Amino acid sequence: MIITPQQLAARIDSALIIPEATLPDFQAAAAEAMQLQLAAFCVPGAWVAIVREMIRPPVKLCGVIAFPHGNDTPTVKAFAAVGVIKDGAEEIDLVANLNHLINADLASARAELQEIADAARTVRPDVVLKVIVESAVMMRLGPNRAEAALACACQAIRESGCNFIKTSTGFHPAGGVSLDALRLIKKHAQGIQIKASAGVRDWSAAQAVLAAGADRIGTSYAQQILATHATA
């Protein structure tokens, strides 16, 4: 795949989600996202209203909810989604209930995401919803259960009207994105987009995940990735 640094930048979501980040940290990260013309800048819900004033098109502002464990109820997640949209988020990254996915419980997984999507789109019909599934956790289940879990996730996301499956939070000890997981996700995506997140830190890694099927890359290393283009 031949891609320019500018084209790659337009497919990168940068993120600042560590709880100890301060206002100057967000100002610097937002300025970098604007300078590099990234796809989106992802921040915790509490920072969306503040960061809204720092971000302009073409960069989108993404609010992160139910992070990093996804253990809130669907109603709480839906309420949080509405809140960050009202504060200015154009996209949302949200963590799914992993227990539903591990057990390939399609009905429960779909119901959760449907409640969130319905609530979010009453406020902003065009909001982009990216669902984090911790694919590394699924890959530890063994080949058959891993595929069943990821297939369940893709189907629940698609049928609930969400837009993306996202591989990882970057906070789970099981790890981040893998090429094997991406290939399985690509097999079952069927109309939803794929965001590869956690572990992409240089140009070659970015190229690899795009080749495996990713549509976007989530990273805190956007500048480093783009800077390594010359040496790749």
Single-letter amino acid, residue 36:
L
Residue 25 bears catalytic tag: no
Q: Token digits for 67? A: 């992070």
Residue 195 bears catalytic tag: yes
Crossing angle of helices 179-189 and 203-211, in 10° steps, is 30
Name the residue with tokens 């590394």.
Answer: 136
**Residue 218 parent element (H or E):** strand 216-219
Name the residue with tokens 């990093």.
Answer: 68
Give the separation between CA 130 and CA 166, rounded to whole angstroms.
6
Q: Which residues contact 211 (CB under 8 A, 6 or more apart)?
A: 1
Among candidate residues 13, 72, 93, 202, the one labeled active-site is 93
Give the separation between CA 116 and CA 63, rounded to whole angstroms.
14
Q: Token digits for 21? A: 């980040």
Among candidate residues 72, 77, 130, 166, the one labeled active-site is 166
Among candidate residues 77, 130, 195, 202, the one labeled active-site is 195
CA distances from 144 to 106, 140, 148, 202, 215 (A): 16, 11, 6, 31, 25
Residue 187 bears catalytic tag: no
| Residues noted as catalytic | 93, 166, 195
